[in-house]
Each structure stands twice: as structure tokens, then as C-alpha cells.
Amino acid sequence: MYYRRLKKSSLPNHRSSRQPGMQQTTMGTPTATFPMVSLDYSMEEKSESFIRFLGVETSYNVLPGKKGHCLVNGITMYNKAVWSPEPCTTCLCSNGRVLCDETMCHPQMCPQTVTPAGECCPVCSDTEQREPTHLLQKQLPPPQVEMDQALKKEGLEFEEDEDIKENEDREQKKKIHGPGDAGRLPSEGQSREEEDQSPGEEVKQAHQHRNPAREEEDKDEDETIRGDVFRMPSQLPVPAPPRGMPPLPSRCSLSYRTISCISADLSQIPPLTAPEITSLELIGNSITSIPDEAFNGLPNLERLDLSNNNITSSGIGPKAFKLLKKLMHLNMDGNTLVEIPSELPSTLEELKINENNLQAIDEESLSDLSQLVTLELEGNDLSETNVNPLAFQPLKSLSYLRLGRNKFRIIPQGLPASIEELYLENNQIEEITEICFNHTRNINVIVLCYNKIEENRIAPLAWINQENLESIDLSYNKLYQVPSYLPKSLLHLVLLGNRIERIPGYVFGHMKPGLEYLYLSFNKLSDDSVDRVSFYGAYHSLRELFLDHNDLKSIPPGIQEMKALHFLRLNNNKIRNILPEQICNPEEDGDSTLEHLHLENNYIKTREISSYAFSCIRSYSSIVLKPQGIK
């Protein structure tokens, strides 16, 4: 289940209307089944019909959480988190929005490339053949001397063509004036003999007697045409291409600044030297140790994912992470650590050590991590007996703490004042004392589902004076009635799967601006459990009310007075009839705000429903009445 914090209005003492993002889907034929919340907070079902019954794309994703988080495939991504859902795509969580971009691939300098399965960037084929050296030499630009010779040759050929054309013209004139040559002067005859010389000799003489000034001019023209653009040293060799990175291990890939070795059968961290790399993924291998020099060649790493390996605490060198001065995200989920690694970089903002064997957190375990925002330690062996009360004191920036699936019997002590979201599901917590949240004035979301809490073990002053606490999940505990002394600021209350038999009067009366979402599905509410003052204080604010899977035999009183109600679930009860005034107020002419009404799986005879029962609802398509039981 994902909890997303709702943005407060800028006006004092006012919060705009909010509702969890749930998409409506077509209703199916439901059966009364009992839901189980999975370990990642997604609702699971003992039979497939429950998902259809809910009428929503996901199930009871009812508690909004912190502003800026993103929900991706049931996983909560913190603001500014970056991940790669597939080899070709990189995504960023930015203020609640998921922004994705396709990865740009570096061009490969080889004639044949192949794209491996599961990758997006091509690599050089193993069967490629290098080009012959003489072909590469032909493609190289000529040195300056050769360029000069080529240009001169072109100039000479052009002049020869011009001289040949002039001689051909003279020959034509000679043929035309041939009969008048007898009466010419000797000088004229001599000139004619000179003209009769072969074109080849004339060209040769022309080259021998060329004007030096013209040659100099031609030279200048050549230099002007070539210019400095073409000038390069005539004797120096052509520079070789820059050397690339060392070859990656097989089944590893490079994508932009990320090296991925996912399920690559690695037994140790490969020696890599790539200062430009900022992200390293070594997920799902058989790595057991991290030596001190493991990341010496990757000084600019910002993200390191070592999840799902066999790393032990004894296998981590004392200086393994010391050189990573820019590391911000470290994931070591699914290993066999018994303690938090020492000398972690002070730049860390996110640390995940879920599903390990952590057995203690002492006062020094998290020292120097003043920039840490997210800490996840779920699925370990932690309890109040092995977690030092001063362990969290250095975490001045901590906002998001997950300690679910551990062995806590009380709320951990010494929580930092900066904490905003606290997840303690699937522990053994039995009570909430007055001092639990004394120093956590910024806390916004508390998840305590799947524990052993009873309403009489919640101290009256435990959280009633909290000014920012908007969401509480107490599902699947041992509550027999809706708890009293709830926080004044509460907007969302989730009480699924308890043993609640009663909603006390005025229990929501002190809340300001008022409760907006109340989920009481899978309890033991009956007609005697609810009266008109049960919802006092929430008539003007309730937007969603879930009373499905209870023992109600009629519509609870006060529904028609809920001015902001959009979603009402009364399905899977024992309701037999619907009176005209129970849903719509006969004294008001306007339409109801109700958009979704679920009454299926009761014992209602639909043909006997009054035509005025739903007269205030804008669209009858938003009313679900079928199927009904027979009894």
C-alpha cells in the first residue's frame, strides 16, 4: 500500500479537498473474501474475485503519503530517485511525477555490431574482422607535400589544355590563308614557320619561358585556396584514436554512465577503472565480499546497487566505501549482513539494507550520515532491545524510515525530529505510549498495520496534539472500536480487518479541518454500532467511506447529511431494503455529490426499491446493485 502525503493549502487552517488516486474499473461478480495486505503494501486476495469486487485498479491504496513521492509498480520511489526499469530507459521521480528518457548509446567503431538480449545498446560482434592496414591508409588524408604536388599538377594540366586550344585556333587560320603566302615578306614567312611548330614544342617552350611573376601569383593563389584549414605537418604521423575503457566482464553492459552487471554470475566485484561512471549495478550475483580497493577505479560513483548477493559483514573491508566521496544511493537489500557497514560516505542520502540479518544498531552505526533522507531496514532481526535509543540521533535530515517486518514490541525510541513517514508494519507492537512521538512534530504518515495494538493501549496524549499527522494505518490489529483521542490534523484513517463493533459518538468531533477518508471494511459493524453522532464532526468533510464486509442490515443514519461524500461502499453486508430518505435528503432539491455507490452482495430486492431512493444521484451508472444474495 502506498502512502502519499497531500499538499497543504497555503491558507492557514485550511486544506483543500484531497483523495487518493484510484482509477475506476468495471465491476465484476464479487464474493465475500478476506483481503491480506502483502509485505509491499499491495492488497493480495485469497481468491481472484476480491480484486474485481474492489472496483479499483489497485486495491485499498488509501493512505496518501509524502508529497513528491512516486509509486512505480507498487514500489515507493523517493523524490529525486533515479532508476532503470529496463535496459534502454532511465527514470526520475520529480515532485510526484515520473520522468523517463531513453538511453543514448555510444557509437561502436567496428564494422559489425550486435544487440544482446535484454540490452539496448549494440556491442561489437565477436566475429568482426579488422580492416586491412592498406585500406585504412588509403582513407587517411595526404600530408601537406602530397597535397601541394597534387594542386600543382592540376594547374599544369589546365595550362596545357589552354595552350592546345590556342594552337588549334592558329592551325585553322593557317589553312584558311594558305594561297596568299607566296607574296609575303621573309619576316612574315619566318613568323609563319614559327607558328607551324608542333603544339607539343610550343607548350614545352611556354613552360621554359614562364613569367616568374605569374608563377609567384599562382603560388599565392594556391596558398589562398588551401589556407590554414588544410595545413598540417608534412612529416608527423596521423594521430591514433584515444584509448577506450578496459573491456567489461561478459554479461555486463555500459549505458551512458552506468555499468550494469545484473545476474552476470559474478563471484567478486570486477576490477573497473572508469572515472566517468556514476552508477554501478551488481544485482543478483554471488558476490560475498567487498575488499578495500574494490571501488578505487570508480571515484565518482553516485549510485551503487549490490542487492541480492551473498555479502557478509565480515567480508566488507573497513575502507571499502571510504573513497566514494560522491556516493548518494547505496542498496544492499537481500544479503546476509548482521550489522550496518562502517565508514559509510557522509554524502549518502538513501541507504537500503532490507531483507538481511541485522541484529543490532549501536550508537556509532549511523554516525556522520547527517545528509541521509531515506533509511530502509525492513525484514531484519531488530527490536527495542538491540537498537540503541541514540542510534538515530546523527540523522538530522532523515525523513523516511522503514522498519517493517522486524521484532519491535514498542515504538522505537529516539526517532529524529525530522522524520515525516514512519513504517512499522508486521512487528509485534502492543501499545503506543505518551512519549512515542514527543519529538517528531513533523511526522505526517504512521503505518502500524499487522501488529497487536488494542484501543485501550493507545495513550490519550500519544498523538492528539500532533499538528502535521494526516495519515494513520491501524489495519489488522486488535481494535474493538474506533480509537479515541485521534490527532486533530487527521485526514486519513485506515482500520481494515480489525474486530470493530462500534463507532463511538463524537469520536471525530475535535478534528480540524475534518476527516476526509475513513476505511472500516472487514470489521463487525452492525446496526447498533452506528448512530447519528458517530460521524459528528465529519459530515462536512468525509469524501470516502468504506463500510463493506460488515454486518449492517440497513443504511447507517446520517449518510444523506454528508455534503462532500463521493465514494460510499456498503457492499457485502446484510442490507435488505433502502428507504427513500436514507441516501437522498428529501428536503433538498440539489444533486448529491455522491459519484460511486456500491450496494452489491446484500439481500436487496431491487424491484422493490423506491424510485426516489436515488433521485439525488446524477448518474444511475454510478450505482452498483447487482448481484444480490438470496436468503
Q: Could you please report the per-residue DSSP string of 74-117?
A: TEEEPTT-EEEEETTEEEEEETTEEEEEEPPPPPP-SS-EE--T
Higher pLDDT: 26 or 551? It is 551
Beta carbons of 568 and 559 less than 8 angstroms apart: yes
Average pLDDT, the chain: 78
- Residue 42 clears pLDDT 80, i.e. is over it: no
Q: What is the mean pLDDT of residues 130-157?
A: 47
What does 26-56 look like in DSSP terms, one character per residue?
---------EEE-TTS-EEESSTHHHHHH-B
Q: What does the pLDDT read at residue 283? A: 96
Q: What does the pLDDT read at residue 103? A: 65
**75-79, 122-126, 209-213, 560-564: which range is least confident on average?**
209-213
Calculate the alpha carbon distances from 101 to 85, 104, 256 in Å.
Answer: 11, 9, 12
CATH of region 251-357, choose from 3.80.10.10, 3.20.20.80, 2.60.40.3500, 3.40.50.970? 3.80.10.10
Q: What does the pLDDT read at residue 153? A: 55
Nearest CA to 282 out of 334, 317, 327 is that of 334
Where does the pLDDT of residue 160 fall: very low under 50, low under 70, confident under 90, or very high at 90 and above?
Answer: low
Omega of the bond prior to 586 within 30 degrees of 0, cis?
no
- Residue 138 clears pLDDT 50, i.e. is over it: no
Contacts of 510 (CB under 8 A, 6+ apart): 464, 488, 537
- Residue 429 clears pLDDT 60, i.e. is over it: yes
Q: What does the pLDDT read at residue 81? A: 76
Q: What does the pLDDT read at residue 115? A: 75
Identify the top-confidence range among 86-95, 250-259, 402-411. Answer: 402-411
- Residue 214 clears pLDDT 70, i.e. is over it: no
In SS3 terms, 569-606 reads as ECCCCCCCCCCHHHHCCCCCCCCCCCCEEECCCCCCCH
Q: What does the pLDDT read at residue 238? A: 37
Q: How far apart are CA 272 and CA 298, in angstroms?
A: 7
Q: Give SS3 for 71.
A: strand
Q: What is the mean pLDDT of residues 600-623?
A: 89
Locate 141 and state its grid cell: 588524408
**167-171, 183-187, 315-319: which range is least confident on average?**
183-187
- Residue 142 clears pLDDT 60, i.e. is over it: no
Q: What does the pLDDT read at residue 351? A: 98
CATH 3.80.10.10 domain extents, the chain: 251-357
Query: What percent of the chain has pLDDT above 90?
Result: 53
Q: How far apart are CA 201 and CA 307, in angstroms?
A: 88
**238-247, 317-326, 495-504: which range is least confident on average?**
238-247
Higher pLDDT: 91 or 379? It is 379
Identify the top-confidence range among 124-128, 175-179, 423-427. Answer: 423-427
Contacts of 205 (CB under 8 A, 6+ apart): none
Nearest 5°: CA angle at 27, between 26 and 32? 155
Locate 251 and state its grid cell: 554479461
Contacts of 507 (CB under 8 A, 6+ apart): 482, 483, 484, 486, 534
Calculate the alpha carbon distances from 264 to 260, 281, 309 in Å.
Answer: 9, 11, 11
- Residue 334 clears pLDDT 90, i.e. is over it: yes
- Residue 192 clears pLDDT 50, i.e. is over it: no
Specify the DSSP class assigned to residue 361.
B
Q: What does the pLDDT read at residue 339? A: 96
- Residue 468 clears pLDDT 80, i.e. is over it: yes
Q: What does the pLDDT read at residue 87? A: 67
Q: What does the pLDDT read at residue 73? A: 72
Higher pLDDT: 22 or 340? It is 340
Q: What does the pLDDT read at residue 215? A: 52
**113-117, 291-295, 442-446, 548-552: which range is least confident on average?**
113-117
Q: What does the pLDDT read at residue 53? A: 34
Q: What does the pLDDT read at residue 234? A: 43
